[in-house]
Chain A
């Protein structure tokens, strides 16, 4: 199960960084960074690349899923990335690191990793381990619109389920992530130089198979997502099976068109007075 998840996270990582073209935000020179924390690192794709490209950086990756941490360690070993450490955690509300331990905290898909209820405490904890003048970086992806009615329906079910299980901040927006609220959250938490960048991503078949592969990789985990949707009562088992089957057919069509937005948000921690 987790292997399918690792695979879909790897696809996601490739898709994101093909678009961004750099591992760190433009405004931050990697030379000035010496300790990095990757929260919810998954199979460690981003962190391993950082370790390979910048051997001077000491890299720490944490995730709640032991299976993903196991895969990350294996991958790091195979990639001869020696400056990277992966640790499995029980939760993100208490990080096993001292105050001011990191220069840079990276969180890919924060909406998936941190639910609204946990958000204030997790952010407080991240802020504690981040040194003054250190940077926080959120990278989130909002899929849509797409030409597949089935895929749009699937996303709507997912949103309904997220609203029911309180996994989204806002019920007005049909967004599956909270990407566009992060600037506000960071400012409210006292961060300075809060900024965002937007990158439109073509995930349709016009621009190659990356987008399609990504969707198929996400759907490869459909049993888990399907169970979640059925258990939260937004859709029946038969309906979700029908929708997933239609998506599989839709995304391989030549005329399949899909877009998404990659949102990157940064903020600098200011010294407490």
Chain B
């Protein structure tokens, strides 16, 4: 499973969503730049000594925005990217082949299957916007897999974000509808359907599997008018994503189809409000695997 919500063929023909429409891959590259900026330009927490490492694995690498940045900054590093989306991987492969970054290796992985990497060969696993796709039942398996491929004392970094508040009632309702539909299917950590429930649990999750030096960094994502055009894009992306899971929302009886369409129209207007205010939080949690050595 990759993070990009891909652009469906039938988008609502409303101005801002239409304006924000484009190549999903480019969109993700933009969002990557945005989140990088939110994290003060850091690709991973400062505590992780990537300059002393040999190999890094990005689980759910999508079109590879993160791994290309990492490879560029660390020319000697071996960088593995894996994703469930063939389309995203093809894009990443084309980009690698036209670049000089031969240290990048891209592999396909079936969602929730074992990682296509041998035991104990990775120094650092990075997972961004991947945790949200995992059901509570899938977590232990995923973590076991990470621990299997990590070298002793290797690092695991899980990055997730959560939309917290937005002054647009329509966007909030749409976003919550997605969460409620997922909660009904048992696919979120927060069973109430109010939040994804991931960011506040990462810290405990990493500690529960026996990692040490567990820590997290917290970042603000300004989604209001002062957040600029990328904040706008981010919100458009939430609506776009909801549009993709609309069948699920309707099927689960969270919103009726017409109700949903009406909300999308309202969201479009509310997005233009000069006093739009809101935020998301980004948590980057990390820890080390002891590997039985201590």
Contacts and interface: CB of A to CB of B under 8 A. Distances in A.
Interface of A: 142, 144-147, 152, 156, 170, 172-175, 179-184, 187, 194-196, 198-200, 202, 204, 206, 254-255, 257-259, 261, 263
B279 A145 contact: no
Contact of A187 (B197, B202, B275, B283): B275
Contacts of B275: 183-184, 187, 194
B281 interface: yes
Contacts of A179: 165, 277
A142 B203 contact: no
Contact of B277 (A172, A180, A258): A180
A200 B194 contact: no
Interface stretch (B7-15, B27-35, B74-82, B212-220): B212-220
Contacts of A259: 199-200, 218, 281, 283
B169 A145 contact: no
A258 B166 CA distance: 19
Nearest to A265: B277
Contacts of B279: 180, 198, 200, 261
B214 to A, nearest CB: 9
Interface of B: 162, 164-167, 169, 172-173, 192, 194-195, 197, 199-204, 207-208, 215-216, 218-220, 222, 224-226, 273-275, 277-279, 281, 283
B117 to A, nearest CB: 29
A108 B140 CA distance: 43
A180 B277 CA distance: 5
B220 A199 contact: yes
A202 B202 CA distance: 14
B204 A261 contact: no
A145 B172 contact: no
Contact of A200 (B173, B200, B202, B218): B218
19 contacts: A142-B164, A145-B162, A145-B164, A145-B199, A147-B200, A152-B192, A172-B169, A173-B166, A179-B277, A181-B167, A181-B277, A196-B224, A198-B279, A200-B279, A206-B215, A254-B207, A255-B208, A257-B201, A259-B283
Contact of A183 (B165, B197, B277, B281): B277
Given A184-B275, A206-B215, 6 more contacts: A170-B169, A173-B166, A187-B275, A196-B224, A196-B226, A259-B199
Contacts of A181: 167, 277
A80 to B, nearest CB: 37
Contacts of B222: 198
A179 B208 CA distance: 35
Contacts of A194: 275
B225 to A, nearest CB: 8
B165 A261 contact: yes
Contacts of B200: 145-147, 257-259
A257 B197 contact: no
A182 B165 CA distance: 13
Contacts of B172: 172-173
Nearest to A183: B275
